[in-house]
Amino acid sequence: MTRKILMHVGPVTIDYEVLAAGLRGDTGFTSQEFIYAMSYSMKFLRKLMGADQSYQPFIIPGGGTSAMESVTSLLRRGDKVLVVSNGVFGDRWKQIFNRYSVAVDVIKAEPGEYVKPDDVEKAVKEEKYTLVAMTHVETSTGVRAPIAEIAKRIRDKVELIAVDGVSSVGAESVKTKELSIDVYLTASQKAIGVPPGAGLLVLSERAVSRLSDESVAGYYLNLKNWIDVMRNLEDEKGSYFATLPVHLIFMLAKAFELIEKEGLENRIKRHERVAQGIRAGIESMGLDIVAKRPEAYSNTVTAVMVKKVNPAEVLKAVIPEGLELAPGVHPALAGKYFRIGHMGWVNQNDVITTIAVLERVLKRLGEPVNLGEGVRAVQLTFT
């Protein structure tokens, strides 16, 4: 069997210490160890999100989508929502809200771009929205949106702001409190580096005050049903609404310990450096990046355009070479690109290997790449 490097957009490579933390055959949800792991994880989640004590953390079953859908707990029949969409996951907000009795408007960006702060500001001046929902890093294109700038422009014009940080939290600067954002959410399998299974979010006091029996939310993802459980567990008291992914929570707590040890700022810098290396390698090979300008580059995902080869063939051909990458999922770019995920426990050596494998494989498949130029550029970036 070939050893493999997983440069995916999630799940990502899991650190062995994190994996081992989940190996427990006899631990129930009432056990003191589980209650402690939840309490610690919720406290650390506030730090990870740049939130303070006024924010309520939630760790719920599912993943990014369950965390997104739980935002319906803040909405009532007839509320107006503005979705700011830079791609497939921005569109997911719209698809979710369309299932509920709320009105949804959408502003969309071209693939590789983000919706400009001016356009969001204009929209919220023209219409009264209860909620503006955005995506920090759009995983389908690797585009990072200027969340801080948008939040500052619209903060006093809308009641609630929700940010999907599924591909950003743990790898990009996240300033929930400073920007007065009401919901910041992520999923366990992304930059936190834990297996899939949990959605994680923090809610402002304003957002918590919206939880009510009048919300349009259903049952399982209704945060009103979860809030007491979260408060009890944080206070180290056993509590139940629906079963939490117990073993995953042990892995989550271990990952948070490792993130605390690394230091959040260091972790963000590591992601930034790794992303720089990937981009230097790709561009020096002669390939284009989907994100159209440097301000849109993300620390976690690089989407790569190919000129001649079929990207599906590239993904197949890198596997026996010990590398797994992610397919392109933006419908407007179908058949034209693939994605490199670089988040979690990723390091500089992973970047060298990724670029080296890509050079060999792309050359062999007939893409006009400059063999050796990519690896050289990565080495120069890291030296």
Is the distance from CB of 12 to CB of 6 less than 8 angstroms? Answer: yes
Q: What is the DSSP letter of 76?
A: B
Question: Taking a C-beta distance cutoff of 8 angstroms, is the pair 372, 359 a contact?
Answer: yes
Distance CA 139, CA 198 (A): 18
Q: What is the torsional sign of CA 43, 47, 53, 59? A: negative
Euclidean distance between CA atoms 56 and 227, whole angstroms: 8
- Binder to ligand PLP among 135, 204, 215, 222 (CB under 6 A)? 135
How far apart are CB 140 and ligand PLP at their closest, in Å?
8
Neighbours of 150 (CB within 10 A): 25
Q: Which residue, 89 or 337, is less far from ligand PLP as judged by CB?
A: 89
Least distance (Å) from ligand PLP to the CB of residue 228? 25
* Among 162-170, 215-223, 308-316, 367-375, the segment contacting ligand PLP (CB under 6 A): 162-170
Distance (Å, whole) CA 63 – CA 196: 7
CA dist 101 and 194 (Å) reads 34
| Closest residue to ligand PLP, based on beta-carbon distance | 64
Asked whether the beta carbons of 13 and 343 are under 8 A apart, the reply is: no
What is the C-alpha separation between 153 and 215, in angstroms, rounded? 27
- Does position 302 interact with ligand PLP (CB under 6 A)? The reply is no
Site for ligand PLP in 70-109 (CB under 6 A): 89, 92
Number of residues that bind ligand PLP (CB under 6 A): 13
Considering only 49, 150, 160, 166, the residue that binds ligand PLP (CB under 6 A) is 166
Between 91 and 182, CB nearer to ligand PLP = 91
Exposure string of 281-317, with b = 16+ CB inside 10 Å and e = fewer, is bbebbebebbbbeeebbbbbbbbbbbeebebebbbeb
Place of tokens 């006009």: 368
Nearer to ligand PLP, 167 or 176 (CB): 167
CB of 64 to ligand PLP, least distance (A): 2
Amino acid identity for residue 277 in this structure: G
d(CA 189, CA 217): 25
Nearer to ligand PLP, 13 or 284 (CB): 13
Q: Which stretch binds ligand PLP (CB under 6 A): 38-46, 148-156, 163-171, 354-362?
A: 163-171
Report the distance separating Cα 260 and Cα 254, nearest Å: 10
Interface of this chain with ligand PLP, residues 172 to 201, rule: CB under 6 A: 187
**Separation between Cα atoms, residue 164 and residue 135, nearest integer Å:** 5
- Which residue among 5, 7, 8, 10 contacts ligand PLP (CB under 6 A)? 10
Among 13, 130, 167, 284, binds ligand PLP (CB under 6 A): 167
Q: How far is the CB of 181 from ligand PLP (least distance, A)?
A: 16
Nearer to ligand PLP, 61 or 238 (CB): 61
Opening angle at CA 48, ends 46 and 52, nearest 5:
30
Min CB(375)–ligand PLP separation in Å: 29
Binding positions for ligand PLP, 48-77, rule CB under 6 A: 63-65
Piece in contact with ligand PLP (CB under 6 A), picked from 159-167, 218-226, 337-345, 367-375: 159-167
Give 22 or 374: the residue with its C-beta nearer to ligand PLP.
22
Give whichever of 201 and 361 is closer to ligand PLP, judged by the CB atom.
201
Pairing of strands 160-164, 183-187: parallel
Q: Which is nearer to ligand PLP, 56 or 135 (CB)?
A: 135
Contact with ligand PLP (CB under 6 A) among 72, 139, 225, 381: 139
**How many CB atoms are closer than 10 A to CB 226?**
23
Kindly tell me which of 190 and 369 has the beta carbon lying closer to ligand PLP.
Answer: 190
The footprint of ligand PLP (CB under 6 A) covers 9-10, 63-65, 89, 92, 135, 139, 164, 166-167, 187
